[in-house]
Structures are given as structure tokens and as C-alpha cells.
Amino acid sequence: MEYFTQQLINGLTLGSIYGLIAIGYTMVYGIIGMINFAHGDVYMIGAFQAMIVFLICGALGLTWVPLQLALMLIMAVIFTAAYGWSVERLAYRPLRGSPRLAPLISAIGMSIVLSNYVQLAQGPRPKPIPPVIRGGFQIMESDAGFVVQLGYLQIVIILLTVALMAIFAYLIAKTPLGRAQRACEQDMKMASLLGVNVDRTISLTFVMGAALAAVAGMMVTLYWGVNEFAMGFVAGIKAFTAAVLGGIGSLPGAMLGGILIGLIEAMWSAYFSTEYKDVAAFGILVLVLIFRPTGLLGRPEVEKV
Amino acid sequence: MATLTMTGAKPVPSTMQIAIKEAFLTAFLVFMLSFLMIGFETQAQQGQPLSYVTRFAAIVWGIILVPLGRILIVFNRHGRPMPALIGGGFAFLYLFGGAVIAILFDVLVIPFNDYFGEAAGAAGIPLPFADPIVDAIFGLGALYIVILGIQTMRHTAHGELTLAQREAKEARTALRAKQISMVLGPALLVTALVLPFTPWSDRVLVETMTLILTYVMLGWGLNIVVGLAGLLDLGYVAFYAVGAYSYAKLATEFGLDFWASLPLAGAFAAFFGVVLGFPVLRLRGDYLAIVTLGFGEMIRITLINWQAFTGGPNGITGIPRMTFFGVPFDRTPEEGTQAFHTLFGLEYSTMHRILFLYYVILGLALITNFFTIRLRKLPIGRAWEALREDETACRALGINPTNTKLTAFALGAMMAGFAGSFFAVRQAFISPESFVFLESAVILAIVVLGGMGSQVGVALAAVLLIGLPEVMRELSLYRMLAFGAVMVLIMLWRPRGLLAHREPTILLRRGGGKAKPRKAGATA
């Protein structure tokens, strides 16, 4: 029981990170129907920028942890959003209206460009940073002496994710931007006829996705403490799996999918084997898709002939 | 993007005003992109905390040069190409030329190092960036501006065509692509056949060509799945892996030679295609893509972790080499047996095996090609193409989508299996490292960049994507960057692929003659 609770906490933390990345995939897919393969690398860039801000903080002598965290968060979000915008502007916007595979290949190319760019700019070695937030609560202790730990960092990650989800839900449901996004999602041509600036809306979608990926990148920098130029791929694949699992195009679905993937990974590593945790995640995805092809919270696609 | 057609109360901004505004925006963007990622280089040293060094000079140069280029583009777009021609031309000559001189100087004078570091200073040319390759990249950017200027001069700039003009242009390029393919196909074939015997061929060239042909074969195999049946497969490398491991196991455990295991490896791969395909082929589009990607990763992870069977991350070594239909290419054959050179009374040469491998893969690739072309004419091929265009209509016409897709999947997998066993016999060593997602992405890119369904296009794209990085080995660190950039640029330049042409598969010859089946609507 205690062991299970611990895995639950770990899984939720990991799942929050996946969920935040997955939102970027799901929003982009919802609006222009493409798999943004470069998103995983945007997340990686977010993680690197957060790490660099942390180092600058250290060099400037800012050691108060909340200030450090706030600076990492804000700077990483702003600077990574620029990458999200540029990727869309350079590699996807010129391809709007092209055959469906063209943006996909362009995205894969962009992903290769970004990861190699970071390898060139920051070097190929893994970059470790010391833990910023230590310690945590001890929730319970089993008879055998197994202590369930809820780290302060884990609380920060989960709370931040919940807060961001709330902001996002509001943004999509209530603001003009959210309305424009939903309109573009339903029918891009009609939306543009009704005066929605489609290009701008799509750009902002990428900016928002990149911002959330940057938050996820910051969290992972704090949580694992090691960044490396190739880290975007696996995280990206899992996050996309999460988006599909939850029902692509649906924001709550992406979060749910992310948390499920995180839990599956944590539980599988804990009870079966660490080596095959990715196989488990993909296996569950295949099962879900076979029995519920639109994902858990996705709307069924009605096909009209 | 707006051209000068604004009406109403607002005064029309002059070109200069627009240019300055855009230049500021560009400068801001360059700052945003580069400040943290370029400005601070993190350095991880063993046993020391992470530190950084700053590189602000590069950012300043970026913030100066990129907006200048933007201004030239804005002027060009407003019908004034002269600044682009002169400014871009000068920048290109200075940056690119200077970089080339610096690199040459570095290579010839200073002992070679990977980064070409500080070469610019050494050659005595003041270049903005310390790394001449970055200077060269900026030079190429300037060249692009010059090309834009030339296009404006010739009134062929993009963006201001009407729909009809654009369609006419597309039809023209499609026709040209078709003509090019008609010439290029036989030309490539003849080149492939005779190249090893031309005087400038050497071991490296033949090995590179063998590598390219492996990808050509994989591309043609995947073309069955993606190009004909319209199934987006992102895990194609899994079947390549199955083929490679099949041959490796059959050869090392059961002592089968290459020719005996080739059909078996193909059959195993096809079997995997059916097993993996069966549950998921009713999924559509991108769901299928992500599931195939998942399968690819699952097989790779299994290969890494199933130590007993696959040798884990170390892979399988000592795979028997290629034989000439059972006759080995050894220098000293075993007592009482023949080797290739004794059989034909030739002088022993290591090139024999390399050349033979080359012609084997050429043959296999050509068989794949022939097979695909024939399949297209069979009912099953027609059914694939119909299914790609409209699944619902096919269902209504009594085509079983799952079985039809499964055939495509299995045949594509079989081709990958053949290519995989060839890979294993050529390398004599395989490990899961060779079967990562990037390989799937490269093969898919070859198919799409070539122009979906175009067999010659696939070959051309393979030469570009596989051959180019091999040529660029000198620029080791920038190789993959260039590879990704080429993928993006080709897609931007030709979104339908290099040699895409839409030609109807079937034509009604008699009667109305207008009943041209359209294949164009593959965009949905």
C-alpha cells in the first residue's frame, strides 16, 4: 500500500510533465491537423533555457529559491515561445494547404535541425545542475519501515500544472483568443470569412504550446537535474502518445492521457521491469486505440460522404 | 505580407517605413532566439559544477545582419530588387568567400580540428562569427536574397499569382517533373550499372552507393505502404530490424547462407507486418502513424532488452559474410573448396565482395521497383490507390479495407525484411542502434521528398539525403543540421516532392474521353 502510494505520487508528477507537453501537441493537431514533431525539441529548448537562467541567477547571486523559480519560469516561457513562433512561421506556415505529409516531413526536419542546433550551441554532453528544491513531507510509514515521500518539488510541479490547466481552461472557454481558436478548429475557412485572423490564431497556438512545453522543460530540469540535447525525442513521443490516448484535440484529454502515461510508467517500473516501461506505455495506447479509436475523451469523428 | 493595396483613412506607409518596422521586429526575434541559447554556452566538466561562457559578439552580429537582410527582402517585395542584388551579392561574396578561404586556410595551414576554431583570425579576414561555417551559412542566406532579387527582376516572384496561374504553373512543373523522370530514370540506372567500372570509382564510392541503394530499396518498399496504399507508417524500420535479426540468427544459429535466409527473412518480416498490422489497420491517418511509431519503438526496446536472443545493446557480431551463391570471397579457401577468385581465375581483391554486394542490392532494389510497378497494374494495386483516395467509397464498392491494407503492409514489410538481411550481411554486425526512429523518419522523408508514388523521385531523394551527408563528412558537426534543413527546405520549395506528377493510373480510352479519373485529391 505504502509502496503503491509512493508510485502514485511519482506517476502523477511525471504525468503532469507529460500532460503539459501533450497539450502543445493536441492544440496544434486540433487546429491544423498535423503532428508537430518539433514540439519535443521545443520542450528540450525550454529545459535548456530554464537551466541557463538558473545558472545566470547563480552568477548574479540571486539565491532566494522562489525568485529563482519565478525567473526560470518566466524567462524560459518567454524565450521558448519565440522558438514556437519561429518554427511555425518558418517551417509550417508556408506549407498550409499542401498535401498532408508535407508539413509532417517539414516537422521531422525541423526536429532534427533543433536538436542538432542545440548540440552545436551547447555541446553534446549531458548538463547536470544541483537540486534546487530539496526535502519533502513524509506522509506515512509502513511497518517494514518504507517511508512514503512527497517532495516539495513534486508539490510545486503538481500545483503549477493544476494552476496552468485552470488558466488554460479559462483562456480557451472565455477569451476572444480561445473563441478564435475553437472557431479555427471547427472550420478554418469559415472562421477567416467571419473575420478571425487565422494565421495569427495559429501562431498564438504554437506560442502557447511552446510556453507550456517550456514549463514542462523547467520542471524536468528541476526534477531530474540533467539536460541533454537528445532528450526531446522520447519525451515528445510519449507526450504525443498521451495526447492520442486522451483523445487528440481535447485539452482535458491531453492532461488525462499524460497522467495515465506517467502512472503506467511509474507502476510498470515499480512492479514489473524498468526496461519495458515504454513498451507498456505504447501497449496500452494500442489497446485503447483498438477498443476506442478516438481516445478516451475524444469526440467520435463523424464522416459524411 | 500585405501588398500596397490599402485604402481608407490610413496613409499608405512607404517602403522604407515598412522595412524599418520589419527590421525592428526581426531584430527583436533574433534577440529572443539567440540571447539564452547562443549567448550563454554551458560547459559541463567532470567533477565541477556546470558553468557558462558568454558569446555576446555572435548575438550582436546576428542582430545586425539578419534585419539588414530583412530590409533587402522588403524592398525586393515592393518591386525594388536592386538593393537585394547588390547588398545580398556583396554579403554573399564576402561572407561565403571569406569563410571558404578561412576553412581552406585552416585545413591547409593549421592542423585540422573539428570546430575550425579561430580560423577566421588566422586567415587574416575579419569575419563576424568565430566559426567560419556560421559565416558561410549567413553567406548562403545572402545568396537566397540575391535569388529572390533575380526572381523579381524576371517577374516570377511567388505569392502574387492568381489561382488559375498557380494551377497552370503546377501543371507545368508536373509535366516537367514527368519529363525529367523519363530521362532521369534510365540515366540513373545506367549510371548505377556502370559506375563501379569507371576510372574514378573507388572503394568509398562503391560503399556509399551501396548504402544509397539500400535506402532506395527501403524507400521503394515503403512507397507501397505510404505512396500506394496511403498508410502513414512511422515504424517501418521495425521490419528492417526483423529482416536483419532474422538473417543474423539464421546464419549464426542454423548456418544458413544469405541466399537461403533471404526469403525466410522476408517472410518473417511480412509475418510481423501482418501480426502488427491486423489489430491497428482499421485506424485512420495519424492514429495509425503513432501506433506504427509505437511498434517501431517497442521492437527496438525489445531488441535492447531481450539479451538472450538478440545480444542486447551489444548486438550480434560475427555474422557470416556474403558468399557468391555459396562460394566464399576468402583469400585462402578451405582445403578442397573454391573461393571466388580461384573459381574465376582472378587475382584476389577485397573489391570483389564489395562489388558483388553492390550489384546484389542493385538487383534487389530493381526487383522491388519492378514488383511495385507491376503491382500497381494488378487489381490489388488499384484497390490500394482507390483506398487511399476514399475509404468509404471503397467499402461501398465491396473492397475489404482491412485485408487490402494488410496486403500492402505485409508486402512493404517484406521488402524491408529483404533490405534488412542485406544490411546484416554487409555489416556482419548489427545492434539496436541501427534501428532507431530517425531511420524510419529518413526513409519516410525519402518517399515524401521524392514525390509520393514517383519511383525515380525516391531514388533521387535517396541520393540527396544519404549521399549528401556522406560527402559532407568533413563538416561532421553540421552534417545532421544540414540534413534536417534540407528536409525542411525541399518541402518548402516543392511541397509535393521533387518529382511529383499526377498522372491518372487508368484512363478510359474509348467513348467520351473526358472521363479522366482524378488522382489529385489526395490532400484530404
Question: Which pLDDT does position B449 carry in this prediction?
Answer: 85
- Is the domain of B220 the same as that of B103? no
B166 burial via Cβ count (<10 Å: 0-12, 13-18, 19+):
exposed
- Is the pLDDT confidence value at B433 over 50? yes
Which residue type occupies B506? I
- Is the pLDDT confidence value at B513 over 50? no
Question: Which pLDDT does position B418 carry in this prediction?
Answer: 94
Q: Do A112 and B484 touch (CB under 8 A)?
A: yes
Nearest 5°: the CA angle B8, B9, B15 is: 85
Q: Secondary structure of B274-304 in the HEC alphabet?
A: HHHHHHHCCCCHHHHHHHHHHHHHHHHHHHH
Cβ pairs A/B, distance under 8 A? 193
What's the domain count of chain B? 2
Of A49, A112, A123, the CB nearest to B480: A112
- Is the domain of B215 the same as that of B150? no
Instruction: Give residue B506's pLDDT band: very low, low, confident or very high (50, 70, 90).
Output: low
Question: Which pLDDT does position B110 carry in this prediction?
Answer: 57
Q: Which residues of A touch B29 (CB under 8 A)?
A: 82, 85-86
- Is the domain of B208 the same as that of B140? no
Of B279, B478, B524, the CB nearest to A290: B279
- Is the pLDDT confidence value at A85 over 70? yes
Of B52, B297, B480, the CB nearest to A116: B480
Beta bridge partners of B54: B40
Q: Do B491 and A105 touch (CB under 8 A)?
A: yes
The answer to whether residue B170 is domain-embedded is no
Of A29, A52, A114, the CB nearest to B52: A52
Q: Do A86 and B29 touch (CB under 8 A)?
A: yes
Q: Do A98 and B523 touch (CB under 8 A)?
A: yes
The answer to whether residue B179 is domain-embedded is no
The answer to whether residue B171 is domain-embedded is no
Q: Do A286 and B301 touch (CB under 8 A)?
A: no
- Is the domain of B75 the same as that of B218? no
Q: Do B33 and A109 touch (CB under 8 A)?
A: no
- Is the pLDDT confidence value at A140 over 80? no
- Is the pLDDT confidence value at B476 over 50? yes
Its domain, for residue B287, covers 195-313+359-493
Of B44, B286, B294, the CB nearest to A286: B294
Best of B22, B50, B394, B447 to disrupt the A interface by mutation (most A CBs within 10 Å)? B50
In angstroms, what separates the C-alpha of A100 from chain B's closest C-alpha?
6
- Is the domain of B209 the same as that of B103? no
Q: How far apart are CA A297 and CA A246, in angstroms?
A: 6
Element (DSSP H or E) covering residue A186: helix A176-186
Question: Which pLDDT does position A34 carry in this prediction?
Answer: 84
Question: Which pLDDT does position B286 carry in this prediction?
Answer: 72
Instruction: Give residue A292's pLDDT band: very low, low, confident or very high (50, 70, 90).
Output: confident
B364 burial via Cβ count (<10 Å: 0-12, 13-18, 19+):
buried
- Is the pLDDT confidence value at A304 over 70? no
Q: How far apart are CA A106 and CA A88, in angstroms?
A: 10
Instruction: Give residue A32's pLDDT band: very low, low, confident or very high (50, 70, 90).
Output: confident
- Is the pLDDT confidence value at B4 over 60? no
Mean pLDDT of all residues belonging to chain A? 87
- What are the angstrom distances between the C-alpha of B131 and each of B35, B51, B98, B113, B121? 18, 22, 11, 12, 10
Question: Which pLDDT does position A259 carry in this prediction?
Answer: 93
Rounded to an integer, the average pLDDT of B415-428 is 92
Which residue type occupies B341? H
Give the Cβ contact number of residue B469 at 10 Å. 17
Q: Which residues of B touch A120 (CB under 8 A)?
A: 477-478, 481
Domain spans in chain A, listed from the N-terminal domain onward:
2-232
In angstroms, what separates the C-alpha of B7 from chain A's closest C-alpha?
18
Task: Give residue-wise pLDDT tens across range B169-199.
Answer: 777 877 887 788 888 888 888 888 888 887 7
Instruction: Give residue B523's pLDDT band: very low, low, confident or very high (50, 70, 90).
Output: very low
- Is the domain of B261 the same as that of B365? yes
Of B33, B302, B304, the CB nearest to A83: B33
The answer to whether residue B523 is domain-embedded is no
In angstroms, what separates the C-alpha of A283 from chain B's closest C-alpha?
8
Of A79, A98, A301, the CB nearest to B36: A79
- Closest alpha carbon within chain A to B281: A290
- Is the domain of B151 the same as that of B288? no
Question: Which pLDDT does position B44 carry in this prediction?
Answer: 80
Q: How far apart are CA B302 and CA A180, in angstroms?
A: 45
The answer to whether residue B1 is domain-embedded is no
- Closest alpha carbon within chain B to A75: B36
- Is the domain of B201 the same as that of B103? no
Q: How far apart are CA A144 and CA A221, in angstroms?
A: 33
- Is the pLDDT confidence value at B77 over 80? yes
Q: Which residues of B touch A53 (CB under 8 A)?
A: 36
Task: Give residue-wise pLDDT tens across range B321-347.
Answer: 877 777 777 777 776 677 777 777 777
Are A105 and B487 a contacting pair, CB within 8 Å? yes
Which residue type occupies B303? L
- Of A117, A95, A112, nearest to B490 by C-alpha is A95
Output b/e per residue, A182-197; b: 16+ Cβ within 10 A: ebbbeebeebeeeebe
Best of B492, B493, B502, B523 to disrupt the A interface by mutation (most A CBs within 10 Å)? B492
- Is the domain of B152 the same as that of B212? no
B220 burial via Cβ count (<10 Å: 0-12, 13-18, 19+):
buried
- Is the pLDDT confidence value at B19 over 60? yes
Instruction: Give residue B1's pLDDT band: very low, low, confident or very high (50, 70, 90).
Output: very low
Q: Do A127 and B286 touch (CB under 8 A)?
A: no
Of B44, B280, B488, the CB nearest to A286: B280
- What are the angstrom distances between the C-alpha of A15 and each of A219, A259, A273? 12, 4, 19
Are B496 and A102 a contacting pair, CB within 8 Å? yes
- Is the domain of B125 the same as that of B246? no
Q: Do B40 and A52 touch (CB under 8 A)?
A: yes
**Of the given ranges (A15-29, B17-31, B127-141, B292-306), which has the lowest mean pLDDT?**
B127-141
Instruction: Give residue A73's pLDDT band: very low, low, confident or very high (50, 70, 90).
Output: very high
Q: Do B50 and A51 touch (CB under 8 A)?
A: yes
- Is the domain of B298 the same as that of B445? yes
Element (DSSP H or E) covering residue A213: helix A198-224
The answer to whether residue B459 is domain-embedded is yes
Best of B37, B53, B73, B295 to disrupt the A interface by mutation (most A CBs within 10 Å)? B37
Predicted TM-score of the model (pTM): 0.86
Interhelix angle for A251-271 vs A2-32, to 10°? 140
Q: Which residue has the higher pLDDT, A81 or B453?
A: A81
Q: Which residues of B touch A101 (CB under 8 A)?
A: 226, 232, 448, 452
The answer to whether residue B484 is domain-embedded is yes
Question: Which pLDDT does position A98 carry in this prediction?
Answer: 81
Q: What CATH number is associated with residue B297?
A: 1.10.3470
Of B70-79, B196-205, B511-520, highest mean pLDDT:
B70-79
Q: Do B441 and A108 touch (CB under 8 A)?
A: yes
Instruction: Give residue B509's pLDDT band: very low, low, confident or very high (50, 70, 90).
Output: low
Q: Do A116 and B437 touch (CB under 8 A)?
A: no
Rounded to an integer, the average pLDDT of B119-144 is 77
Q: Which residue has the higher pLDDT, B161 or B133?
A: B133
Beta bridge partners of B53: B41
- Is the domain of B386 the same as that of B289? yes
The answer to whether residue B270 is domain-embedded is yes
- Of A157, A139, A159, nearest to A149 by C-alpha is A139
Q: Do B444 and A105 touch (CB under 8 A)?
A: yes
Question: Which pLDDT does position A62 carry in this prediction?
Answer: 83
